[in-house]
Amino acid sequence: MQWQTNLPLIAILRGIPPKDAIAHVGAIIEAGFDAIEIPLNSPEWEKSIPAILDAYGDKALIGAGTVLKPEQVNQLADMGCKLIVTPNIQPEVIRRAVSFGMTVCPGCATATEAFTALDAGAQSLKIFPSSTFGPTYIKALKAVLPPDIPIFAVGGVTPENLKQWIEAGCTGAGLGSDLYRANQSIERTATQAAAFVKAYREAVE
């Protein structure tokens, strides 16, 4: 099963306010990203997500993170979101998102959770928090998972350590605080986005 974008790095813009969303997403896309999530515990996400979809929906896979309830999936589908990322395994959330034709990347930690997500229709998995488990754990977990399922490391991934996650068998990574922190400058976002793109390309050479 192929990941849906050219660059398998998901930008996680947790805490971004609507007034900053367009500019920061633009900088990230300019660096080469084509998958963006706004977590639903960000301020006024109901404004940020539609604005980003309107501006960049034809350039990137855009959606929401920290999606916990099927009702939220309905709301996001109405906005036109194409990506749903969760921190946990809630089968009904996964099934609902799949029914709308969305790409779903649910968070899991164990083989039981991973297979529960796949049984519900998830097309990819994120191992969260990856920094707690480490690359060796992910490599062991991948041994029992279907080989064609894209696996993303999320939590503690930096440009400096991205390569170790790729070498452990991850397709890519979800990038949070090392890419974007609330209220940081556009310049910082652009610099970090470029560093992650460079690190990924070097890791897969």
Q: Which domains does the chain have, with CATH numbers?
A: 9-204 (3.20.20.70)
96: confidence class by pLDDT, cuts 50, 70, 90: very high
**Cβ proximity of 67 and 85 under 8 Å:** yes
Mean pLDDT over residues 72-99, rounded? 98
100-112 residue pLDDT tens: 999 999 999 999 9
pLDDT the model gives residue 1: 79
Which residue carries 């998102």 as its tokens? Answer: 97
Provide the pLDDT for residue 2: 85
The pLDDT of 13-27, averaged and rounded, is 98
Tokens of 46: 């109901």
- When pLDDT is averaged across residues 174-182 and rounded to a whole number, the result is 97
d(CA 142, CA 175): 20
Say whether 187 is catalytic: no
Q: Which residue reads 């996964």 in tokens?
A: 94
| Mean of pLDDT over the chain | 97
Q: Which tokens is 64 given?
A: 């929401």
Q: Give the pLDDT band (50/70/90) at residue 13.
A: very high
Closest to 175 in 3D by CA, of 198, 151, 159: 159
* Catalytic annotation present for 37: yes
Between the two ends of the chain, the Cα-to-Cα distance in Å is 21
Q: Which of 44, 71, 126, 205 is catalytic?
A: 126
Residue 204: CA count within 13 A, CB half-sphere: 13
Query: Residue 192 has what pLDDT?
Result: 98
pLDDT exceeds 90 at position 128: yes
The single residue of 19, 37, 160, 202 carrying the catalytic annotation is 37
In this structure, the chain runs to a length of 205
Tell me the pTM. 0.97
**DSSP E strand stretches across the chain:** 9-12, 35-39, 61-65, 83-86, 103-108, 125-127, 151-154, 172-175
pLDDT at 42 over 90: yes
CB 25 within 8 A of CB 81: no
Rg (CA), the chain: 16
Tokens of 168: 């452990």
CB 97 within 8 A of CB 145: no
